[in-house]
Structure 1
Amino acid sequence: MTSTALRPALLPPHLNPGDRVRFVSPASTPDRELVANGVDLLTGWGLQVELGDHAFDSLGYLAGTDEDRLADLNDAFRDPGVRAVFATRGGKGAYRIADGLDFETVRRDPKPLIGFSDITALHLALWKEAGVVGIHGPSMSWYEPNCGPECAEALRRALMTTDEIVVREDPKELSAALTAGEAATGFLMGGNLDTVRGAIGADLPSLDGGILLIELNHGTGLGMVDRQLTQLMRSGLLEGLRGVALGQVVGYDDAVSNGWTVLDVLRDRLAKLDVPILGGLPIGHGLQPATVPLGTLATIDPAAGTLTVAPGVR
């Protein structure tokens, strides 16, 4: 496998009005009413929305069996008329099927996969095995209070234009306190911290020459954050890392251990990497999240407070 630092990214074509797109559920079962909102949103852009056969299946915390969820994904990738694949939600389970993706078809006919959270596992696998750019963006369980018109417009621009994407640091985000260092450039890769950590030894590519994007959601304790970051550092996959783009940190406001907060844990661990950090990015599980490509060239500028990312479509 060619080094991910040197391999050119495969950019899917941008979407146009009239294009067919498909909603699938690679992880947990979505709410039908929220998915209907997502259908309305994309239909308003002139897209033709289809639903995977098993989009509303339910099996414990999964949207049906591994076989059926994987079949929906691969059917969407193999259908030449489908021009983008949208995850209805994250949750749990995408990591169970990431190794079964039809990477040969994806390389031959790249199309964007849009999603975040547990869908991070699929983004990592698609980049590692096929070099295809993904889109870290909101799921199609569309809930307007969490993702309003500005959020929707950012998603539309990322998919239907070839404009450069600029995300600005929000000083109100908890992670803004960790911003430090000089500007750095590299390919952007990552997503949900727990899912990135879980991909070690399987779907996580080398981040030599990359900018690591991480966001945290509803913590299970400060020790877990410590464990996740330490595992990443010991994996060897962060050697040659050029910077960290730190998104939203959700659910840790009241987490304190012997005077330490989540910021203390992040500061302690990330300092060992000795790379620039741009925090405060509105990317992740918080309100009004931005949309960014994964796999294209990005620059973090801590002094300016900006993350600039090359388009994820051509």
Structure 2
Amino acid sequence: MNRKNFITSLVTAGGILSTCDAWAAPTLSEMRREHKIPPYLKAGDSIGITSPAGYISLEAIHPSVQLMESWGFKVVIGTTIGKKDYTYGGTDEERRLDFQMMLDSPEIKAIMCARGGYGFVRFIDQINFKDFVRNPKWLIGFSDITVLHAHVNQNFGIATLHSKMCNSFPDDWAKAEPIQISTILSIKQALGGEKLNYTATGALSNRYGRAEGPLVGGNLSIIHTLAGTPSDLDTRGKILFVEDTKEQLYSIDRMFWNLKRTGKLAHLAGLIIGGFNIKTDAIGEEFGQSVYEMVMEKVKEYTYPVCFDFPVGHQLNNFALKCNVKHELMVGQGGSTLKEV
């Protein structure tokens, strides 16, 4: 059942449903609902590259094309690559048509978004997912692509891949840092069907415990702007991960209040805090709380585990995560682990 978070009261034949009922924990049948995992890729399969948000040149995606071809995949370059309409990779209609073509093509087994930026929300409601639901494929990206992850996970229960995109591939693989290589290879491992297993060092603010549930999340700014829309995430019984970049502390605090007030923090299985690249406060206007403090303030009455400093976000250590796939989160004194189960 897909219940609205913003219900103040619902008059029914039997009486009134309060907000407490609207935010109730998921039923056993909801928790056991099967999630669809697209077929994993094999050598010879095709990956499409499209730019549904910001502009990117053909030259900029060349390293990613070379590397994915070296993995044994064919690469189909979309019509939006190299197109420019102000900040976008083509007009809204050009970006929509390119994405729709790749979504409907039976030859394309995965779609990698070339970069983030801004733009997917401008046409997400015009995408026809009918063929995709019948024949799911891996949708890959992060940042602005959180719109797509949230919409697909919430409406269709299909797994997607939150990971780096073409603009994050190194120009020279031989000179790339080890952590950059590991994160790019995690995309190959995920698409090939390997079960992913990650660790994070211990943080003083971590709250210990074990959680199990589907993994959902992405960019905090995007998640908070989707509240009340058809793409709004239902986080009940889920492990939620969030990350963000170029935001000031007061803005991050406001967004976490949004998560709390919309009920998204109330019935989590677990919470993962990834990278947060903070804009420096102006002198004399310091916010006064760290990300650690503001998060724990919002979840202090709950008991689920909380993991900080997880390797996901706008940073080099941004590993691939399978959204809407069941994971186990363990947070302890020695650090945290997240593994697919």
Tell me the TM-score normalised to structure 2 length. Answer: 0.83
Could you say what secondary structure the match of 1:148 adopts?
helix
Cα deviation, residue 229, structure 1: 1.0
Structure 1 residues 141-197: Cα deviation after superposition (integer angstroms, max 9, x where no partner)? 13425763212221111001x2221111045xxxx3432121111110010111111
How far apart in 1 are the matches of 2:209 and 2:64?
39
The aligned counterpart of 2:140 is 114
CA contact 1:179–1:280 (8 Å) conserved in 2: no
How far apart in 1 are the matches of 2:119 and 2:73?
28
Cα deviation, residue 212, structure 1: 0.7
Structure 1 residues 74-128: Cα deviation after superposition (integer angstroms, max 9, x where no partner)? 1111000100000000110112222222222111000000100010110110111
The aligned counterpart of 1:208 is 236
Q: 1:295 aligns with which of 324, 334, 338?
A: 324
Percent identity (aligned): 27
Gaps of 5+ in 1: none
The aligned counterpart of 1:95 is 121
The aligned counterpart of 1:130 is 156
Tell me the TM-score normalised to structure 1 length. Answer: 0.90
Cα deviation, residue 274, structure 1: 4.1
Q: Which has the larger radius of gyration?
A: 2
CA contact 2:249–2:278 (8 Å) conserved in 1: no
Structure with more contact order per residue of length (Cα contacts < 8 Å, sep ≥ 6): 1
Cα deviation, residue 266, structure 1: 2.5
CA contact 2:169–2:184 (8 Å) conserved in 1: no
Gaps of 5+ in 2: 3-25, 171-175
CA contact 1:245–1:281 (8 Å) conserved in 2: yes
The aligned counterpart of 1:43 is 69
How far apart in 2 are the matches of 1:199 and 1:273?
24
Could you say what secondary structure the match of 1:14 adopts?
coil
CA contact 1:222–1:265 (8 Å) conserved in 2: no
The aligned counterpart of 2:189 is 157
Structure 1 residues 20-50: Cα deviation after superposition (integer angstroms, max 9, x where no partner)? 1100111111243331111011011011101
Q: Which letter maps to 1:155? A: I
CA contact 1:184–1:299 (8 Å) conserved in 2: yes
Could you say what secondary structure the match of 2:85 adopts?
coil
Q: 1:194 aligns with which of 221, 244, 248?
A: 221
The aligned counterpart of 2:20 is none
The aligned counterpart of 1:180 is 207
* 1:242 equivalenced with 2:242 (yes/no): no
* 1:53 equivalenced with 2:79 (yes/no): yes
How far apart in 1 are the matches of 2:201 and 2:95?
36
The count of aligned residue pairs is 304
The verdict on how the C-alpha distance between 1:215 and 1:258 changes in structure 2, with shifts beyond 3 A counting, is closer
* 1:224 equivalenced with 2:251 (yes/no): yes
